[in-house]
Amino acid sequence: MNQPADTNDLPVRVRRAAWLARAAFLLVFAINVQCAASFVLWPDVYAPSFEVAGVPGAAAVQGLGIAFLMWNATYPAVIASPLRFRAVAVIVLVQQAIDEGIPAQTILTEGLLKGMDVVGEKFKNNEIFVPEVLVAARAMNMGVALLKPLLAAQGVKASGKVCIGTVQGDLHDIGKNLVKMMMEGKGLEVVDLGTDVSPENFVRTAKEQNCQVICCSALLTTTMDVMGEVVKEAEREGIRDKVKIMVGGAPVTDAFAKSIGADAYTPDAASAADVAAQFCA
């Protein structure tokens, strides 16, 4: 798969799609600003309609208009961002790679994940900031959504139930979502607890839903210790001998997993799915 160096290297249809998205975005922006300005300038005209929806009086309508205007002020910033509409480019390029017959796994590891490494490096060096990282994360998730059915179709069927989540205090979920996707591809039933999951929630879910494996993801060095608490909670609740506990995420290592008494550490989503399938077999 060719890696475009900058926007001008993108195929014509990708650039066209991005321009169309930009035009639609500008249209929505113009309509929003017009509505917001009307609420501020002529609140009395809109007050009766808003009263039906529970907004009392012209002053409240004016307040809503001001809030709406402020919110719309973020639109130009988005349009000016160097990463604008890259999600559209990601969707088109991933689809193009699929059409060219490149295996879904290769598109994921050589395309999307390598791209996210670049984002991580720039984030670390303060070249880009949280909003740009969120834009990149959204673009990545859109590309992953296209690959999901293909990756699932490649999976070998197994049966079993696992619960997965990002540990308490941690909101990173891209890696966790990939692990989930790979596990589903192996035919495992996955209960997704989302992010910021407490040890009690992991263990309660495993008990209530009869999960054979608890999967914990952590991306922050400050939150990885919560994984040890999950192991302790499983012991306290008397299910430690019935459930396997798997851990992973960028700062996690095999030595760390052993030190907290987890059953397995895997460095990536594919190997996590393999090990979970083995535990459930």
**Residues at the site binding ligand B1M, with contacts judged by CB under 6 A:** 113, 116-117, 119-120, 123-124, 130, 133-134, 137, 169-176, 178-179, 215-217, 219-222, 246-251, 266, 268-269, 272
Q: How far is the CB of 273 from ligand B1M (least distance, A)?
A: 9
Nearest-CA neighbor of 172 among 116, 128, 212, 121? 116
From the CB of 141, what's the least distance to ligand B1M, in Å?
Answer: 8
Euclidean distance between CA atoms 91 and 127, whole angstroms: 25
Of 33 and 133, the one with the shorter C-beta distance to ligand B1M is: 133
| Closest to ligand B1M by CB, 57 or 267 | 267
Rank residues 32 and 195 by Cβ distance to ligand B1M and give the closer one.
Answer: 195
Cα distance between residue 113 and residue 101, in whole Å:
19
Q: How far is the CB of 165 from ligand B1M (least distance, A)?
A: 9
Query: Shortest Cβ distance from residue 112 to ligand B1M (Å)?
Result: 8
Question: Closest approach of Cβ 275 to ligand B1M, in Å?
Answer: 8
Closest separation between CB of residue 225 and ligand B1M, Å? 12
Q: Supply the minimum distance, in Å, between the C-beta of residue 239 and ligand B1M.
A: 17
